[in-house]
């Protein structure tokens, strides 16, 4: 086993911006806004530009461990205790598609009542962690994401039939299974377009890109750990039901709670664990993920009408809802810091809804 290095200390100098980054981000916002306009024309309302179709909208608690060593006691995780949270589980595309189109998935966590300095454009005591399936993002920089976004923009809305999108998803998933059988790991790009059709509560969810972790630099993962989740079949769900992921998740929460262990991977070497390219996996042999908290989601009505309306009309999850101690890092994250608020403003404006940030879990309907 390789010798474990101490975690690298955070410094502003670890980020290196491309000279044309601002222009690239502006093009990303324009492309994603155009895609959203095309989806709105089909769905007759503006929806989220990514992860539009939710599987569940949940309330729960984040319980920080009381046995953390100093390097893990940072930011939200600095003190043992509990926080109220809101969690959204969703499919990847920025439109409502039948579940035969089974792409990557997301988990967004909003932590209420956090303490500390926030980012300049965030004046609420909330902290969002925006996670997705797969330990890396297939397009690791703003520039490479812009190239991919042009293809997604062209296929948004009804430009490409749903049946063709389903066929692409199935083909990508089948090819990814072959790659995994040979290499032992997923292809990030194939998994992005053809993620397994298994139960959403059986997945791990990753930050994919880096964030500041107080005095250090980290990535985060949420790993399913409850006994009920252990019992979920790893076999694909039947996607002849166009809403099978939502139906399966809602049915689960009628019967029992779910739990995820929040784990942190601290950067030890920028050469092997880069910040500027989110497509590069950080080797766990050099820096394993270590548990810092437990996300507990009790039995509840996961998609009731009032909660669904609140989710669609009010809620926004974004990397910029953050303490300074958890500032998103790297090219892709800097793009997200500007893209998420621009697309949220577009969605709210098109639907005639105000922009506001809930500050207490009690605001969310039961």
Q: Is the pLDDT of residue 153 over 80?
A: no
What is the mean predicted confidence (pLDDT) over 297-323?
A: 96
Token pair listed for 224: 């399913």
* pLDDT for position 157: 65
% the chain with pLDDT above 70 = 88
Question: Does 343 map to a domain?
Answer: yes
Question: Does 7 map to a domain?
Answer: no
Q: Is the pLDDT of residue 151 over 70?
A: yes
How many C-beta atoms surround the C-beta of residue 73 within 10 A?
17
On whether the pTM is more than 0.85, the answer is yes
Range of the domain at 58: 12-363
SS3 24: helix
The per-residue pLDDT of the chain, averaged, comes to 91
Token pair listed for 102: 């089974």
Whether the CB-CB separation of 34 and 279 falls below 8 Å is answered with no
* pLDDT for position 174: 53
**Secondary structure, 3-state, 284-339:** CCCCCCEEEEEEEECCCCCCCHHHHHHHHHCCCCCCCCCEHHHCECCHHHHHHHHH
* pLDDT for position 1: 39
Token pair listed for 75: 């930011």
How many structural domains are present in the chain? 1
Q: What is the per-residue pLDDT across 91-146, written as a single tens digit (0 to 9) for each? A: 998 999 999 988 899 999 999 999 999 999 999 999 999 999 999 999 999 999 99
Q: Is the pLDDT of residue 329 over 50?
A: yes
Token pair listed for 329: 């890092």
**Secondary structure, 3-state, 115-168:** CCCECCCCCCCEEEEEEECCCCCCCCCHHHHHHHHHHHHHHCCCCCCHHHHHHH
Residue 307 — φ and ψ, nearest 5°? -65, -40
d(CA 330, CA 346): 25
Question: Does 87 map to a domain?
Answer: yes
* pLDDT for position 235: 79
Question: Does 4 map to a domain?
Answer: no
Q: Is the pLDDT of residue 344 over 90?
A: yes
Question: Does 102 map to a domain?
Answer: yes
Q: Is the pLDDT of residue 172 over 80?
A: no
* pLDDT for position 4: 75
* pLDDT for position 102: 86
Distances (CA, A) of 185 to 45, 69, 178, 254: 38, 31, 10, 34
DSSP 46-85: ---SSS-SEEEEEEEEEEE-S---GGG--GGGSS-EEEEE
* pLDDT for position 148: 84
* pLDDT for position 233: 74
Question: Does 314 map to a domain?
Answer: yes
Whether the CB-CB separation of 275 and 210 falls below 8 Å is answered with yes
* pLDDT for position 365: 93
The set of residues, in sequence order, having a beta carbon less than 8 Å from that of 277 and lying 6+ positions away, is 140, 141, 330, 331
- Lowest mean pLDDT across 104-108, 196-200, 252-256: 196-200
Whether the CB-CB separation of 217 and 10 falls below 8 Å is answered with yes
What is the mean predicted confidence (pLDDT) over 204-219?
A: 98
Q: Return the CATH number at 336.
A: 2.40.180.10
What is the mean predicted confidence (pLDDT) over 261-283?
A: 97
Rg (CA), the chain: 19
What is the mean predicted confidence (pLDDT) over 156-184?
A: 56
- Lowest mean pLDDT across 11-20, 150-159, 231-240, 349-358: 150-159
Question: Does 333 map to a domain?
Answer: yes
Q: Is the pLDDT of residue 194 over 80?
A: no
Residue 179: which pLDDT band, with cuts at 50, 70 and 90? very low
HSE (side-chain half, CA atoms, 13 Å) at 197: 22
CA torsion angle for 170, 176, 178, 182 (degrees, to 10)? -170
% the chain with pLDDT above 90 = 81
What is the mean predicted confidence (pLDDT) over 37-63?
A: 95
Q: What is the per-residue pLDDT across 112-127, written as a single tens digit (0 to 9) for each? A: 999 999 999 999 999 9
* pLDDT for position 163: 64
Distances (CA, A) of 283 to 208, 210, 264, 266: 13, 14, 13, 11
* pLDDT for position 351: 97
Question: Does 1 map to a domain?
Answer: no
Q: Is the pLDDT of residue 6 over 60?
A: yes
d(CA 196, CA 108): 19
């Amino acid at each position: 086993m390789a010798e474990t290095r101490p975690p690298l200390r955070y410094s502003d100098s670890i980020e290196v911006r491309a000279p044309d980054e601002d222009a690239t981000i502006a093009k990303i916002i324009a492309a994603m806004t155009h895609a959203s306009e095309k989806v709105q024309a089909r769905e007759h309302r503006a929806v989220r530009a990514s992860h539009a179709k939710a599987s569940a909208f949940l309330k729960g608690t984040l319980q920080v461990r009381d046995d953390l060593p100093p390097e893990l006691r940072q930011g939200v995780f600095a003190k043992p205790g509990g926080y109220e949270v809101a969690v959204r589980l969703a499919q990847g595309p920025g439109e409502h598609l039948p579940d035969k189109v089974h792409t990557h998935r997301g988990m967004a966590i909003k932590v209420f009542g956090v303490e500390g300095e926030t980012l300049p454009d965030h004046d609420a005591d909330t902290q969002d962690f925006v996670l997705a399936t797969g330990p890396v993002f297939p397009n690791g920089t703003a520039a490479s994401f812009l190239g991919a976004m042009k293809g997604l923009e062209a296929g948004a809305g009804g430009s490409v039939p749903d049946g063709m999108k389903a066929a692409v998803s199935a083909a990508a998933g089948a090819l990814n299974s072959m790659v995994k059988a040979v290499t032992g790991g997923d292809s990030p790009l194939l998994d992005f377009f053809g993620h397994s059709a298994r139960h959403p509560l059986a997945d791990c969810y990753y930050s994919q890109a880096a964030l500041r972790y107080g005095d250090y630099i980290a990535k985060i993962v949420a790993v399913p750990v409850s006994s009920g989740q252990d019992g979920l079949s790893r076999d694909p769900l039947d996607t002849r039901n166009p809403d099978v992921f939502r139906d399966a998740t809602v049915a689960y929460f009628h019967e029992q709670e779910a739990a995820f262990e929040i784990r942190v991977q601290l950067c030890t070497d920028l050469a092997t664990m880069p910040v500027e390219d989110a497509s590069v996996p950080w080797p766990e042999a050099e820096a394993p993920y270590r548990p810092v908290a437990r996300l507990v989601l009790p039995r509840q009505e996961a998609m009731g009408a009032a909660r669904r309306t609140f989710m669609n009309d009010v809620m926004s999850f974004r990397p910029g809802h953050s303490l300074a101690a958890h500032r998103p890092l790297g090219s892709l994250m800097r793009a997200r810091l500007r893209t998420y608020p621009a697309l949220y403003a577009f969605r709210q404006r098109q639907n005639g809804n105000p922009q506001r940030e809930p500050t207490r879990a009690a605001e969310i309907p039961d």
